[in-house]
Chains A and B, each alone.
Chain A
């Protein structure tokens, strides 16, 4: 039996109210760094895909430089990108797994640092499938680092992606599974 996701027409799969951000039209709903700063900032800058007002602020309280503000508690996070160091603490702390640090400084590729709470955990050097916001494998990427900034089970996977995939890749899948 073919997978249900293959039977559903692609345009029906991308809908904001089914949990998929449209990178073309929904960018004003989220925090995206200014391009000039982004290209220069070593270690990268955070993209926060948290477009709905919910009572939640661990990104704010965990940010060591005060770059992220959630005020009041139900506001959408606001980022002061001059202060963001790309440290990935928010990536590991965000209960909604909505923070991604993206480093655009390497010349030939970019690095997406994303939260990961699945099994198995990939090894450094392993090539994994990089998935878009609907789980579609879009490109392969090498895992450059696996960290656990909050030491609480949420890993941060650093995955190498080709230029142009920074705002597409949002998850990884270890090869060899079903």
Chain B
């Protein structure tokens, strides 16, 4: 559930665009630019992966990219820290089971400083 009414905070500026994404093939809506995990949680999804050895459910935990609890498979890439990875339109997000396999062809990207300051 998204917070709408709050005595101190106004979230409207952080929610510029509602976009469609897919969780385990199911269509969901979330806010572009906010972390994937936030939109999943707001959609009631709390289990993000199953642990490697004991197959235990894992969800959100530290929220700052430090703990590995929220690793998921995003557009085919495993071990994505969904708590600090922004949601983009059309993303396909799956629960991760175990370690996941890395497709080396998917690794790319350019360095660039951000203009959000």
Contacts and interface: CB of A to CB of B under 8 A. Distances in A.
B107 interface: no
Interface string B5-21: 11110000000000000
A153 B8 CA distance: 6
Interface string A89-119: 0000000000000000000000000000111
Interface residues of A, number: 6
10 contacts: A117-B7, A117-B8, A118-B7, A119-B5, A119-B6, A119-B7, A120-B5, A121-B7, A153-B7, A153-B8
Interface of B: 5-8
At the interface, is chain B mostly helix, strand, loop or mixed? loop
A143 to B, nearest CB: 16
Interface of A: 117-121, 153
Contacts of A120: 5
A121 B7 CA distance: 8
A120 B5 CA distance: 8
A108 B99 CA distance: 71
A134 B5 CA distance: 25
A36 B7 CA distance: 38
Contacts of A119: 5-7
A141 to B, nearest CB: 20
A118 B6 CA distance: 8
A108 to B, nearest CB: 32
Contacts of B8: 117, 153
A108 B7 CA distance: 33
